[in-house]
Amino acid sequence: MSLVPQLLFTGVGIGAIYALVALGFVLLIRAASVVNFAQGEFSMLGAYAMVVLSSLLGVPYWVALPIAIVLMAGFGVLFAGATYWPLRHRGQLPVIISTIGASIFLANTVLALYGPSPEVLPGLFDTPGFEVGGVFMDSQYVAIMVTAAAMLLLQFLIFEKTLLGKKLQATSQDKEMASLLGIPVALMVLITFAYSAALGGLAGILVAPVLFVSVGMGTIISLKAFAANIIGGFGSIPGAILGGLALGIVETYGAA
């Protein structure tokens, strides 16, 4: 019986989603000192954007995917303008409250537009999965793991190997110093918001075929991502990833 590897497989799959959302979470904490309680809603909006594009407007999946990600990045900028920008000199708490407000607003807006029934979003691949050594590999979980690994690698390359990445890092470490060095801090913060929203949206799209698309999906995911952050050490990037994976695995084994 393949109980242990089967549970490990799904645990890592679901943990990868938590890690992706936790990553978006951490980046905002570091770059803008914002604990964003609407991070889960980014995932929910990303998934709904895909539902609208691919199911409603009939855009092919692989065309709809980049459009949805770009839309989410744009939304991240709007979100920053509405919740962070006006309150950025007032300290952390008002911004946190404003993200909580935004989270409630976004969830209820989607509820009003779409109703409470969950929607179905097809997976990346037509095949449900395949079996390897008695372990059933759900194709969507495989896609989640591969994408998560690719995103982590991409993020590493951007942050460590490009000038933009260095500027973003400088901003997150010390905004005052960064601005003295001529780095456009405001632009860097906006880029972080855009990236964070795109990452959250991608996580939502990836997990939608497994968990379905519903108004409540954001809350479930963000709660877990928040826990992943705490487990991995608040504000630590590798910690968020490890925390997410650990949470996914513990959750799956815990149910057994």
Partner 1 sequence: MGVPHLTRRAFASAAAAAAAFPRFARAEDTIKIGAVFPSTGPAAEAGKLQLNGARQALETVNEKGVLGRKLELVVEDDQTTNPGAVLAFSRLAGRPEIAAFIGPIRSTQVEAMSPDVLKVGKPMMIGGTSPTLTNQGNKWLFRCRPNDTYSAKVIAEFGVADLKKQKWALVYSTDSFGTNGMKALEAALKDKGITPVLMQGYTNQASDYTAVVLAVRQSGADILGSYFTFENDLGIFARQLRQLGVTIPWVGSPSIVNTTALNLAGRALFGTYGVADYAVDATPASKAFADRYQTLYKAIPDNQSSWTFDAVNLLARAISDAGNTEPEKIRAALAATRGFAGAEGEYNFDSKGDGLRGYNVVRNENGKIVFDRRIEVKE
Contact residue for partner 1 among 104, 120, 132, 164 (CB under 8 A): 120
Asked whether 181 and 8 are in contact (CB, 8 A), the reply is no
224-243 positions binding partner 1, by CB under 8 A: 224
Contact residue for partner 1 among 12, 14, 16, 189 (CB under 8 A): 14
Contact residue for partner 1 among 94, 101, 216, 235 (CB under 8 A): 216
How big is the site for partner 1, counted in residues (CB under 8 A)? 31
Which range in 69-77, 116-124, 158-166, 184-192 contacts partner 1 by CB under 8 A? 116-124
Q: How far is the CB of 232 from partner 1 (least distance, A)?
A: 19
Asked whether 256 and 7 are in contact (CB, 8 A), the reply is yes
Q: Is 255 in the site for partner 1 (CB under 8 A)?
A: yes
Can you tell me the distance from the alpha carbon of 256 to that of 254, in angstroms, rounded to the nearest whole number? 5
CA dihedral over 100, 226, 65, 79, signed as positive or negative: positive
Q: How far is the CB of 14 from partner 1 (least distance, A)?
A: 5
Which of 55, 54, 12, 26 has its CA nearest to residue 148? 12
Q: Is 7 in the site for partner 1 (CB under 8 A)?
A: yes
Q: How far is the CB of 21 from partner 1 (least distance, A)?
A: 12
Task: Name the CA dihedral angle for 213, 147, 75, 190, rounded to a multiple of 10 degrees.
Answer: 150
Q: Is 126 in the site for partner 1 (CB under 8 A)?
A: no
Q: Is 113 in the site for partner 1 (CB under 8 A)?
A: no
Can you tell me the distance from the alpha carbon of 212 to that of 77, in angstroms, rounded to the nearest whole number? 26
Contact residue for partner 1 among 60, 116, 133, 182 (CB under 8 A): 116
Can you tell me the distance from the alpha carbon of 38 to that of 22, in angstroms, rounded to the nearest whole number? 12
Can you tell me the distance from the alpha carbon of 36 to that of 26, in angstroms, rounded to the nearest whole number? 9
Q: Is 105 in the site for partner 1 (CB under 8 A)?
A: no
H or E, element range at 137: strand 135-138
196-215 positions binding partner 1, by CB under 8 A: 207, 210-212, 214-215
Can you tell me the distance from the alpha carbon of 50 to that of 208, in angstroms, rounded to the nearest whole number? 9
Closer residue to partner 1 (CB): 56 or 120: 120
φ/ψ of 134, rounded to 5, equals 80, 0
Closer residue to partner 1 (CB): 14 or 145: 14
φ/ψ of 182, rounded to 5, equals 90, 15
Can you tell me the distance from the alpha carbon of 142 to that of 213, in angstroms, rounded to the nearest whole number? 19
Closer residue to partner 1 (CB): 73 or 205: 205
Q: Is 251 in the site for partner 1 (CB under 8 A)?
A: yes
**Binding region for partner 1 (CB under 8 A):** 1, 3, 6-7, 10-11, 14, 111, 115-118, 120, 128-129, 136, 138, 207, 210-212, 214-216, 220, 224, 251-253, 255-256
